[in-house]
């Protein structure tokens, strides 16, 4: 590349990345050592090449061949303005934003979809925090999350016996584990069910592990939810 031959190894790239401060992400990024780097920044640091001597596409191709996760941010749509609250949160603007990503797992910041992937593990790769949206459901007995959340959070499910539960017309198999939960400044310990075959893009907050610990006020007309420790 750039008139030079390079013999790159993943371990050497990881060592270089560990000493490098990531620059702001514009569009493309590569995940190395749990952090996100612009592909050209990292490639220049590893090879010593001037960034003008190669393209982002070339750098992305090298990182992919070495087994690193390569991703692309979406472009925010400034035309999404909330005007009609009867259409849902933000006047339907959020629904319009997410419509092109139906069936995908996404990472979202405000009115911007940062990443959209088929595998949720690739979405949260490299993030220090990875919030997952949850449905607050007073009619649900249990609090449930997809099993990949336990995997990424380091929650062991080896000794938990999966049991079948009906959720929204689907049958899921939940492994319940007592874990530490935090909401704002309030922390508590409760049993959460992690489901291998979870078919939804959100978690479920039910009576156990959530409602019993809080006073929850729902104002549907204003699309507002107020939660206070019980």
Q: Is the pLDDT of residue 80 over 50?
A: no
How remote is the C-alpha of 112 from its chain's centroid?
13
* pLDDT confidence band for 152 (50 / 70 / 90): confident
Assign 142 to helix, strand or coil.
Answer: coil
Residue-wise pLDDT for 161-210, tens only, equals: 999 999 988 899 999 999 999 888 889 999 999 998 888 878 999 999 99
157: its two tokens:
């499910």
Fold of 134-229: Cathepsin D, subunit A; domain 1 (2.40.70)
pLDDT of residue 91: 64
Distance (Å, whole) CA 15 – CA 152 = 23
Distance (Å, whole) CA 149 – CA 138 = 22
Choice among 24-38, 108-122, 136-150, 156-170 with the minimum mean pLDDT: 108-122
Which residue has 């996404």 as its token pair? 106
Indicate the burial class of 136 (C-beta count within 10 angstroms; 0-12, 13-18, 19 or more): middle
Of 115, 109, 33, the C-alpha closest to 72 is 115
116: its two tokens:
């959209």
pLDDT of residue 111: 66
Q: What is the pTM of this model?
A: 0.56
* pLDDT confidence band for 75 (50 / 70 / 90): low
Does residue 59 contact residue 66 with C-beta atoms inside 8 Å?
A: no
Distance (Å, whole) CA 194 – CA 107 = 20
Choice among 9-13, 102-106, 140-144, 153-157 with the minimum mean pLDDT: 102-106
Domains in the chain: boundaries: 10-72, 134-229
Q: Is the pLDDT of residue 82 over 50?
A: no
Please give the backbone phi and psi of residue 11, each rounded to the nearest 5 degrees, phi first.
-65, -40
Task: Report the mean per-residue pLDDT for the chain.
Answer: 83
């Amino acid at each position: 590349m750039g008139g030079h031959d390079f013999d790159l190894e993943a371990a050497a790239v990881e060592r270089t990345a560990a000493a490098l401060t990531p620059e702001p992400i514009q569009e493309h990024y590569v995940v190395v050592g749990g952090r996100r780097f612009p592909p050209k920044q990292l490639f220049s640091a590893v090879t010593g090449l001037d960034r003008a001597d190669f393209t982002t596409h070339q750098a992305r191709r090298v990182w992919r061949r070495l087994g690193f996760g390569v991703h692309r941010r979406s472009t925010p749509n400034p035309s999404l303005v909330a005007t009609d609250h009867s259409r849902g949160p933000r006047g339907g603007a959020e629904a319009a934003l997410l419509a092109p990503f139906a069936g995908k797992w996404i990472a979202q910041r405000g009115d911007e979809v940062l990443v959209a992937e088929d595998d949720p593990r690739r979405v949260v790769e490299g993030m220090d925090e990875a919030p997952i949206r949850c449905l607050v459901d007073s009619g649900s007995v249990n609090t449930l999350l997809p099993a990949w959340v336990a995997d990424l959070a380091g929650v062991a499910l080896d000794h938990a016996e999966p049991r079948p539960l009906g959720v929204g017309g689907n049958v899921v198999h939940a492994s319940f584990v007592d874990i530490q939960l935090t909401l704002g400044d309030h922390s508590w310990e409760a049993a959460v069910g992690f489901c291998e075959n979870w078919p939804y893009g959100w978690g479920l907050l039910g009576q156990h592990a959530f409602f019993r610990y809080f006073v929850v006020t729902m104002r549907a007309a204003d699309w507002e939810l107020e939660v206070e420790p019980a």
